[in-house]
Chains A and B, each alone.
Chain A
Amino acid sequence: MKKSGSKLSGAAIFFESLKQENVEVIFGIPGGATIKIYEELYDIDFLTHILAKHEQGATHMAEGYARSTGKVGVALVTSGPGATNTVTGIANAYMDSSPIVVFTGQVPTALIGNDAFQEADIVGITRPITKHNFLVRDVKDLAETIKKAFFIASTGRPGPVVVDLPKDVIADTHTFDYSGKVEIRGYKPNYSGHKNQIKKAANAIQKAKRPLLYVGGGVIMSDAAKELTELARKNNIPVTMTLQGLGAFPGNDKLSLGMLGMHGMFWANMAVNNCDVLVALGARFDDRVTGDIDSFASKAYKIHVDIDPTAIEKNVLVDLPIVGDVKHIMSELSEEIKEVPDRTKWLKQIEGWRKQCPLTYKTDDGILRTAYVIEKISEKTKGNAVVISDVGQHQMWIAQFFKFTQPRTHLSSGGLGTMGFGLPAAIGVSMGIKDKPIISISGDGGFQMNIQELITAVAYKRPIKIFIINNSFLGMVRQWQELFHEEKYSFTDLSEANPDFVRVGKALGIPSYAASSMEEADKYIDKALEMTDGPVLVEFRVLKEDMVFPMVPSGASISDMMIKRHNPIRMV
């Protein structure tokens, strides 16, 4: 670090600030407005810069890094198109509450508003998709703004923060001071939770005959898997998780009911609609979870724990809200609950549902199915891997068939549903996680949405297992077309439009294989897991018209599930 008191350029202040925030990696692409920052970066060795191929990729990388490590992910892009390309990545991080800070270059302050070359009002554009954003107008505010950005991104309910950096601010000089404490008078997240509310909740849970924990991504974000496991096991309460909650509770535990919701487990959805106390922990009653709101857990006394007051009673009215950190509140609940009533009957009832409609798929016809591939990956890794899914059918099969046992090992674009999220996110994961295999699983459609980042994976020799589930369809849309849109397969058939993925991989020097049978799938999963040097690609050519079940039709009650093709039956 340069002598304190001496003046530094904005670019130097930028990196000194990142150093203070312990940033070890940034993802970005240089451009005209950020050229001074990149000039400074040339001589910087305390962090790694990953050159993405597209700014959307860079933001997904930052998010993958953030979600797998729990640290703040950082992206650095130029003004105008560089900045607008990050919009999907930022919106994705906003919907899934991921702590990332995106630094965007901006035209010099004197030119802002003049439609200057590569100018875009990125602060205006990203206002509704950021937790907060800043335009730094003076170099003397730069360090403090960066400090605030990291603070806001990582505290309370995490989220993306954009910091817009005009070119002249970066060139200007000022003394560097990072010692001040962050004071934002309009931002004081409440972590502790109301004591009386916690007591009431403990009392309700204690008395419950048929309690259920409904766990969302908030539990993973607040690193509360241990507290959750204790709360569930000590009190014999079954746990169901949202897509983002998977991994918060061991999927192989007998109390785990797996995922709930639209493609959730039959028994999990039945448990929701039959429980007498529902405890929502860091979850937000998303429409893909609740289905028809009025019938969702209609018999239950509902307790909702969330750090974000706006999450409470946004969709579903609850009986007992508790605003605070779910980690803190769960450990207090565990302390408060003294007696555990006999819950054998409830657990037996759930076991009955599990037997009534188990999660299965056909294996006797020799056809390769996604479920088989996922189950095999789960078995072979024993769940000890970070799995990054993309969006669509394969994403749901991963949620159903992969037994996640640890938090931060399942990453998926849940809220925004961004196809193309998986591969770049996996690259980000690989920069933070060194002790587990990193498995990127995408569909053939989504894979092509950020296919350019394959080159980034190669350039930086990222040890990622790139698995493509190829059914030659935009499969989830196809499934809806078959079920609800008169089998009009409008523009979802990709069989004529797909590239040869193995040849694409080989062209980039990636060892690439295709599996068309269960035997080949086994063989190449093993092979890919053995390889540790750089990326490996396996294309699984699976049954084209396969469908994900159970399925709750949009807007129906979640206990109103379709459990197999062409045979919707009411299960209640």
Chain B
Amino acid sequence: MKHTISIIVENRFGAFDRIATMFSGKGFNIQSISIGETEVKDLSRMTIVTSGDEVIIQQIIKQLNRLIDTIKVVDLTESDRTERELMLISLNYQKGSLEEIKNICDIFRGNIVDINNRSVMIEITGPPAKMDAAVNVFAQYGIKEVARSGTVALKRGEQIKLPVKNQV
């Protein structure tokens, strides 16, 4: 089963490599990986989409926790979460097809971010499944290149009760 794991790591030389080395050394699979800064200066958030049975996922989480540079590991799979991916897709277009492409782009709520007389680049964000769908639809025009960011995910708004004085 597919699992989305969110990891807070030290934003430090080698921290990413340690995680990647662990995955390859233990033979765990990685479907996508993304890493970026967080609200805290010296911490990064890594989102890894992986798959395996319950025992393997438990091992992955324990092995991640065991690394000294990882601060927090959360399997978001069972939680209410938002997952997003960014895709840049570059297409060929012929005379007359641009309008059609523009319409499909709108359906996917994408933006045309670059255009010349032969090709057009579209930016689409959304859940990973939407990227797959967009790639399928745009395939008819001839895809030149695709770049996908990998999944980023956050747990959705925890229902925290604010202290009364902060309420409006």
Assess the B21–A128 pair: CB atoms within 8 A: yes
Closest A residue to B8 using CB positions: A186
- Whether a CB of chain B sits under 8 angstroms from the CB of A314 is yes
Interface residues of B in 59-73 (CB under 8 A from A): 59, 62-63, 65-71
Partner of B59, one of A123, A128, A152, A310: A310
Do B59 and A314 have beta carbons less than 8 Å apart? Answer: yes
Cβ-defined partner of A132 (8 Å) among B17, B62, B68: B68
User: A186–B71 contact, CB under 8 A?
Assistant: yes
- B10 lies within 8 A of chain A by Cβ: yes
Q: In the complex, which residues 135-154 of chain A have their Cβ closer than 8 Å to any Cβ of chain B?
A: 135, 137, 152
**Cβ contact within 8 Å between B21 and A186:** no
**Is A184 a contact of B68 with CB atoms below 8 Å?**
yes
Please report the C-alpha to C-alpha distance between residue A312 and residue B61 in the assembled complex, in whole angstroms.
12
Q: A124-B17, A135-B13 are in contact. Are A310 and B71 (CB under 8 A)?
A: no
Query: From B71, which residue of chain A is reached at the shortest CB distance?
Result: A186
Question: Of the candidates A128, A137, A317, which one forms a contact with B55 in the assembled complex, judged by CB atoms under 8 Å apart?
Answer: A317
Interface size on B, residues (CB 8 A): 21
Contact A127 B21 (CB under 8 A): yes
**Partner of A186 from B13, B55, B69 at Cβ < 8 Å:** B69
Query: Is B25 a contact of A313 with CB atoms below 8 Å?
Result: no
Query: From residue 97 to 147 of chain A, which have CB atoms closer than 8 A to chain B?
Result: 123-124, 127-128, 131-132, 135, 137
The verdict on A570 contacting chain B, using a C-beta distance below 8 Å, is: no
Question: Is the CB–CB distance between A308 and B14 below 8 Å?
Answer: no
Residues of B within 8 A of A128 (CB): 21-22, 25
Closest partner residue, chain A, to B24 (CB atom): A128
Q: Determine if A484 is an interface residue (Cβ-Cβ < 8 Å).
A: no
Nearest residue (CB) in B for A148 is B68
Interface residues of A: mostly helix, strand, loop or mixed? loop
Establish whether residues A309 and B66, one from each chain, have CB atoms under 8 Å apart when the complex forms.
yes
Q: Which size class do A's interface residues fall under?
A: 20 to 34
Closest to B65 in A: A309
Per the bound structure, the CA–CA distance linking A131 and B69 in Å amounts to 11
**A186 (CB) vs chain B CBs: closest residue:** B71
Which residue in chain A gives the minimum CB-CB distance to B13? A135
How many angstroms from the CA of A187 to the CA of B18 in the assembled complex?
15
Per DSSP, are chain B's interface residues mostly helix, strand or loop, or mixed? helix
Which among B17, B58, B63, B66 has the greatest number of chain A C-beta atoms within 10 A? B66
Interface check A362, CB cutoff 8 A: no
Complex-state Cα separation, A317 to B65, whole angstroms: 20
Known: A124-B17, A128-B22. A309 touches B71 (CB 8 A): no
**CA A523 – CA B52 in complex, angstroms?**
60
Cβ of A418 to closest chain B Cβ, rounded Å: 19
- A317: which B residues are within 8 A, CB to CB? 55
Query: Shortest Cβ distance from A515 into chain B, in angstroms?
Result: 45
Interface residue ranges of B1-51 to A (CB < 8 Å)? 9-10, 13-14, 17-18, 21-22, 25
Query: Can you name the residue of chain A whose Cβ is closest to the Cβ of B67?
Result: A186
The minimal Cβ–Cβ distance linking B9 to chain A, given in whole angstroms, is 8
A185 interface residue (CB < 8 Å to B): yes
In the assembled complex, which residues on chain B have CB atoms less than 8 Å from the CB atom of A184? 68
Measured CA separation A132–B59 after assembly (Å):
19
Q: Which B residue sits closest to A124, measured CB to CB?
A: B17
Q: Of A124, A137, A308, which one neighbours B66 at CB under 8 angstroms? A: A308
Contact B59 A185 (CB under 8 A): no
CA of A485 to CA of B22 in the docked complex: distance in angstroms? 34
Contact in complex: B18, A127 (CB < 8 Å): yes
Question: In whole angstroms, what is the CA distance A23 to B9 when docked?
Answer: 32
Taking CB atoms, residues of chain A closer than 8 Å to B14 are: 123-124, 127, 135
Complex Cα distance A131/B18, Å? 11
CA distance A185 to B69 in the complex (A): 8
What sequence of 0s and 1s flags, for each residue 149-165 of chain A, a beta carbon within 8 Å of any chain B beta carbon?
Answer: 00010000000000000
CB neighbours (8 Å) of B68 from chain A are: 131-132, 152, 184, 186-187
A127 CA to B135 CA in the complex, in Å?
38
Within 8 A of B (CB), among A184-223: 184-187
Within 8 A of B (CB), among A279-318: 308-310, 312-314, 317
Which residue of the partner chain A has the closest CB to B9?
A: A186
CB distance from B19 to the nearest CB of A (A): 10
| B59 proximity list for chain A (CB < 8 A) | 310, 313-314
Q: What residues on B are CB-neighbors of A127 within 8 Å?
A: 14, 17-18, 21
| Cα-based distance from A135 to B22 in the complex (angstroms) | 19
Interface of chain A residues 301 through 342 with chain B (CB within 8 A): 308-310, 312-314, 317
Chain B residues lying within 8 Å of A123, measured Cβ to Cβ, are 14
Compute how far the CA of A542 lies from the CA of B62 in the bound complex, rounded to whole angstroms. Answer: 47
Which residues of the other chain, A, contact B70 by a CB distance below 8 angstroms?
A: 186
Query: CB distance B63 to A310 under 8 Å?
Result: yes
Name which residue of chain A comes closest to B66, CB basis: A310
Q: A152-B68, A184-B68 are in contact. Are A309 and B62 (CB under 8 A)?
A: yes
**CA of A128 to CA of B63, assembled, Å:** 12
**Residues of the B chain whose Cβ atoms lie less than 8 Å from the Cβ of A124:** 14, 17
Chain A residues within 8 Å of B66, by CB: 308-310
**Hey, which chain A residues are within 8 Å of B69, CB to CB?**
186
Q: Select from chain B the residue with minimum beta-carbon distance to A312.
A: B62
Contact partners of B71 in chain A: CB under 8 A = 185-186
Complex Cα distance, B66 from A184, in Å, reads 13
Tell me how far the C-beta of B59 lies from the nearest C-beta in chain A, rounded to whole angstroms: 6
A-chain residues with CB within 8 Å of residue B9 when the two chains form the complex: 186
- In the complex, what residues of A have CB within 8 A of residue B10's CB? 186
Across the interface, do B55 and A313 meet the contact criterion of CB distance under 8 Å?
yes
Q: How far is A152 from B68 in the complex, measured between Cα atoms in Å?
A: 9
User: Separation in Å of the A517 CB from the closest CB of chain B?
Assistant: 49
B44, chain A: closest CB distance, angstroms: 12
Alpha-carbon distance A1/B25, docked complex (angstroms): 44
Q: Which of B17, B55, B62 gathers most chain A CB within 10 Å?
A: B62
Whether B21 and A310, one on each chain, are in contact in the complex, defined by CB atoms closer than 8 angstroms, is no
Q: How far is the CB of B61 from chain A (nearest CB, A)?
A: 9
* Chain B neighbourhood of A187, CB < 8 A: 68
Question: Lowest 10 CB-CB distances: which A-B pairs, in order?
Answer: A310-B62, A132-B68, A128-B25, A309-B62, A186-B71, A187-B68, A127-B21, A128-B21, A310-B66, A186-B70
B-side residues, CB < 8 A to A, are 9-10, 13-14, 17-18, 21-22, 25, 55, 58-59, 62-63, 65-71
- 28 pairs across A/B with beta carbons < 8 Å? A124-B14, A124-B17, A127-B14, A127-B17, A127-B21, A128-B21, A128-B22, A128-B25, A131-B68, A132-B68, A135-B13, A135-B14, A137-B13, A185-B71, A186-B10, A186-B68, A186-B71, A309-B62, A309-B65, A309-B66, A310-B59, A310-B62, A310-B63, A310-B66, A313-B55, A313-B59, A314-B59, A317-B55
7 additional A-B residue pairs with CB within 8 Å, beyond A186-B9, A314-B59: A127-B21, A137-B13, A184-B68, A186-B70, A186-B71, A309-B65, A309-B66
